């Protein structure tokens, strides 16, 4: 059994047996959950299917959040991505951005999503994976397998640090999602287990210290757009790792640092809506618009 | 923890505590109602639930759970309309429940047969819940385990009768948690019994047969 308390252990075990991290994790989790590898695979396949449904749902032009503060971002970005001019980030990345916005918007609109690892950060992994599936011709089975790698990295982060914004700030939610997605992307592109660890480390380092400051306490502003920054960091971290750029600080130490930084964040910047963007004059005005009107 | 706690759960957004956890609190009431006909519910929201329930759809989520939907049911969004169609009345009131967890709801349900009941519980983060009281009596369970609630008169020997019957009749059942709460000496009392295993429905019928037991409910994992 794997304890999921260090990334280096995952890398060593996979490299020792010359298999992918996803294969190692599928086998281990099947044993731990007393299920067959096929049952586990099919469970994960269903999660990928729901992710694709959330993308479709969130790309609708009339998509609107419960509060009315946000909505339609996915549609706008997708129109722009497929429009006449070439977007700055290129078509593929712009479509990936649209998908991350779509899923995060679907969540805000009370649609069905897969928490990955949380509801607030649910757009990052689908934004990355659906793009490789739809635009880069990757096979569904490889993508579903890569989700086991993501999950394993997430378990290590959960054990060593935290995945909750209320505990560790946004770095724990979107930061963890970006790290998990970076590892999956790296594996899908043929990277080695240690390159997956590098991608994870780089992604965490690049979101270090990100605070959780939701306007009105709602999972909308800035959460929806922060899914996009998480996605961009995931792609760039994976590409750096695949280019052979390693992280000077090992992934496990990055996760430890993230925990330390999370603990040091004041309470006002940990999902309490008592600081950051939430307490800007406009942030407060938006909050009042949603909650004061009804009293 | 397993890989599906990280890539998952599948849920209706936007918030695991304010939406998914709220559905699970509602589901506890659904189990308490136990297939009897529900007339209306009066829902009191406290703390953060009171402040932000509209933006998170907490009202819909609670009502959906009360009607038996799960945290991944798309019907959550339309729960108010569904309740209207089913003829279930509902009201939402904001109140600061003293000493309660910030995400607390108190649900007073009225059945068409004239009886009623109250459940108070909190959504404590990540979709996890804690049920704090039922019919004014303190309980403490999280709905992660199979929980048996035994309402009874506070008389000597009732606990022994129940646990003995469980042991002799269902020897595989292992009690993982037990709590007794009563309103006053000799008055109404409630046992909260959590068990490791999946108990059969018949267990509840057998407990109901025991003298001085007024009702028993099995709340399977919610």
CATH of residue A251: 1.10.4100
- CATH number attached to the domain at B3-134: 3.30.1330.90
CA distance A45 to chain B (A): 11
pLDDT in tens, B147-177: 999 999 999 999 999 999 999 999 989 999 9
Backbone angles phi, psi at B41, to 5 degrees: -130, 140
What is residue B160's DSSP assignment? H
Same topology for domains B3-134 and B146-219, yes or no?
Answer: no
Question: Given this model, what pLDDT does residue A295 score?
Answer: 43
How far the first Cα of chain A sits from its last, in Å, is: 54
Give domain limits for chain B.
3-134, 146-219
| Residue A1 in domain | no
CA distance A106 to B15: 12
- List CB contacts (< 8 A) between A65 and chain B: 14
Contact A72, A105 (CB under 8 A): yes
| Residue A102 in domain | yes
Q: Which two tokens stand for residue B163?
A: 């646990």
Under 8 Å CB pairs connecting chains A and B tally to 130
Cβ contact, residue pair A119, B13, below 8 Å: yes
CA distance A223 to A212: 8
CA distance A79 to A56: 14
Give the residue ranges of chain A where pLDDT is below 50. Answer: 295
Confidence category of residue B197, pLDDT binned at 50, 70, 90 = confident
| Residue A121 in domain | yes
Contact A87, A81 (CB under 8 A): yes
Q: What 3-state DSSP class applies to B211?
A: coil
Q: Is B52 in the A-facing interface, judged by CB distances under 8 Å? A: yes
The proportion of chain B whose per-residue pLDDT surpasses 90, expressed as a percent, equals 79
Among the partner-chain residues A117, A119, A294, the one whose CB lies closest to the CB of B6 is A117
Question: Given this model, what pLDDT does residue B93 score?
Answer: 96
| Residue A2 in domain | no
ipTM: 0.96
Q: Is A173 in the B-facing interface, judged by CB distances under 8 Å? A: no
CA distance B187 to chain A (A): 41
Q: Average pLDDT of B183-212? A: 93
CA distance A176 to A207: 9
What b/e string do you get for A121-159 counting C-beta neighbours within 10 Å, with b at 16 or more? bbbbbbbbbbbbbeeeebeeeebbbbbbbbbbbbbbbbe
Question: Given this model, what pLDDT does residue B174 score?
Answer: 93
> In chain A, which residue's Cα lies nearest the Cα of B124?
A166
> In chain B, which residue's Cα lies nearest the Cα of A117?
B6
Among the partner-chain residues B14, B72, B77, the one whose CB lies closest to the CB of A107 is B14
pLDDT in tens, A111-130: 999 999 999 999 999 999 99
Instruction: Count CB neighbours of B35 within 10 A.
Output: 8
Question: Given this model, what pLDDT does residue B147 score?
Answer: 95
Total domains, chain A: 1
Cβ contact, residue pair A155, B1, below 8 Å: yes
Q: Which two tokens stand for residue A53?
A: 């449904």
Contact B32, B44 (CB under 8 A): no
Question: Given this model, what pLDDT does residue B52 score?
Answer: 84
Question: Given this model, what pLDDT does residue B127 score?
Answer: 87
Q: Is A291 in the B-facing interface, judged by CB distances under 8 Å? A: yes
Q: Which two tokens stand for residue A181?
A: 């997605």
CA distance A181 to chain B (A): 11
Can you list the alpha helix ranges (DSSP code H) found in chain B?
3-6, 21-33, 48-56, 58-66, 79-86, 158-169, 201-209
pLDDT in tens, B105-154: 999 999 999 999 999 999 988 888 999 999 988 899 999 889 999 999 99
Q: What 3-state DSSP class applies to A284?
A: helix
Cβ contact, residue pair B19, A151, below 8 Å: no
Contact A1, A31 (CB under 8 A): yes
Among the partner-chain residues A111, A114, A119, the one whose CB lies closest to the CB of B15 is A119
Cβ contact, residue pair B1, A108, below 8 Å: no
Instruction: Count CB neighbours of A289 within 10 A.
Output: 13
Contact B7, B58 (CB under 8 A): no
Q: Is A294 in the B-facing interface, judged by CB distances under 8 Å? A: yes
pTM of the shown model: 0.90
- List CB contacts (< 8 A) between B12 and chain A: 110-113
Residue of A62, A104, A112, A144 to mutate, testing the B interface (most B Cβ within 10 Å of its Cβ) = A112
Q: Is A115 in the B-facing interface, judged by CB distances under 8 Å? A: yes
Among the partner-chain residues A25, A29, A112, the one whose CB lies closest to the CB of B72 is A112
CA distance B202 to B184: 30
Tell me which H or E stretch contains A272.
none
CA distance A141 to B42: 48
Q: Is B121 in the A-facing interface, judged by CB distances under 8 Å? A: no
CA distance B88 to chain A (A): 22
- List CB contacts (< 8 A) between B13 and chain A: 106-113, 119, 122, 219
CA distance B46 to B63: 16
Provide the residue range defining the domain that includes A231: 7-291
**Residue A23 CB partners (closer than 8 Å, separation 6+):** A14, A145
Q: What 3-state DSSP class applies to B74?
A: helix
Cβ contact, residue pair A65, B125, below 8 Å: no
> What are the CA-CA distances from residue B47 to residues A64, A226, B100, B102 (Å)?
26, 27, 8, 4
Question: Given this model, what pLDDT does residue A294 score?
Answer: 52
Cβ contact, residue pair A66, B9, below 8 Å: no
Q: Is B15 in the A-facing interface, judged by CB distances under 8 Å? A: yes
Instruction: Count CB neighbours of B90 within 10 A.
Output: 19
CATH architecture of B146-219: 2-Layer Sandwich (3.30)
């Amino acid at each position: 059994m794997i304890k999921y308390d260090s990334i280096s252990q995952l890398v060593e075990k996979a490299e020792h047996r010359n298999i992918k991290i996803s294969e190692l994790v599928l086998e281990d989790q099947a044993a731990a959950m007393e299920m067959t590898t096929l049952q586990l695979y099919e469970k994960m396949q269903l999660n990928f299917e729901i992710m694709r449904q959330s993308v479709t749902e969130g790309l609708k032009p009339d998509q609107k959040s419960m509060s009315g503060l946000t909505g339609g971002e996915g549609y706008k970005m997708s129109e722009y991505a497929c429009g006449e001019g070439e977007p700055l980030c290129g078509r593929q990345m712009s479509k990936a951005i649209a998908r991350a916005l779509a899923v995060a918007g679907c969540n805000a609109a009370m649609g069905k999503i897969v928490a990955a690892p949380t509801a607030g950060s649910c757009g990052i992994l689908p934004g990355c994976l659906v793009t490789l599936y739809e635009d880069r011709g990757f096979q569904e089975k490889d993508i579903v397998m890569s989700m086991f790698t993501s999950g394993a990295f997430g378990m290590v982060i959960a054990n060593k640090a935290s995945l909750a914004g209320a505990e560790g700030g946004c770095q724990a939610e979107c930061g963890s999602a970006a790290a998990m997605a970076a590892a999956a992307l790296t594996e899908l592109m043929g990277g080695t287990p240690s390159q997956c660890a590098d991608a994870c480390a780089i992604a965490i380092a690049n979101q270090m210290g990100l605070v959780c400051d939701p306007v009105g306490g709602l999972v909308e502003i800035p959460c929806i757009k922060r899914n996009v920054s998480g996605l961009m960091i995931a792609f760039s971290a994976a590409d750096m790792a695949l280019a052979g750029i390693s992280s000077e600080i090992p992934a496990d130490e990055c996760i430890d640092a993230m925990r330390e930084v999370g603990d040091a964040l004041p309470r006002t910047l940990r999902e309490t809506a008592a600081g950051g963007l939430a307490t800007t004059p406009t942030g407060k005005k938006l909050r009042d618009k949603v909650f004061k009107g009804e009293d | 923890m397993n890989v599906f706690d990280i890539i998952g759960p599948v849920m209706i957004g936007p918030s695991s505590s304010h939406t998914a956890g709220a559905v699970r609190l509602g589901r506890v009431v659904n189990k308490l109602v136990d297939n009897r006909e529900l007339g209306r519910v009066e829902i009191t929201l406290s703390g953060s639930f009171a402040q932000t329930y509209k933006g998170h759809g907490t009202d819909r989520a609670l009502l959906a759970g009360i009607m038996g939907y799960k945290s991944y049911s798309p019907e959550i969004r339309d729960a108010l309309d569904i309740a209207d169609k089913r003829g279930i009345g509902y009201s939402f009131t904001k109140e600061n429940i003293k000493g309660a967890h910030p995400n607390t709801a108190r649900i007073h349900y009225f059945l068409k047969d004239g009886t009623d009941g109250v459940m108070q519980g909190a959504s404590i983060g990540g979709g996890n819940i804690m049920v704090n009281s039922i019919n004014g009596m303190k309980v403490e369970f999280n709905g992660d385990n199979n929980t048996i609630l035994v309402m009874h008169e506070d008389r000597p020997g009732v606990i022994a009768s129940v646990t003995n019957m469980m042991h002799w009749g269902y020897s595989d059942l292992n009690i993982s948690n037990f709590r007794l709460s009563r309103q006053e000496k000799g008055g109404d009392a409630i046992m909260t019994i959590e068990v490791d295993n999946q108990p059969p429905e018949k267990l509840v019928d057998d407990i109901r047969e025991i003298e001085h037991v007024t009702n028993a409910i099995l709340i399977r994992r919610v």
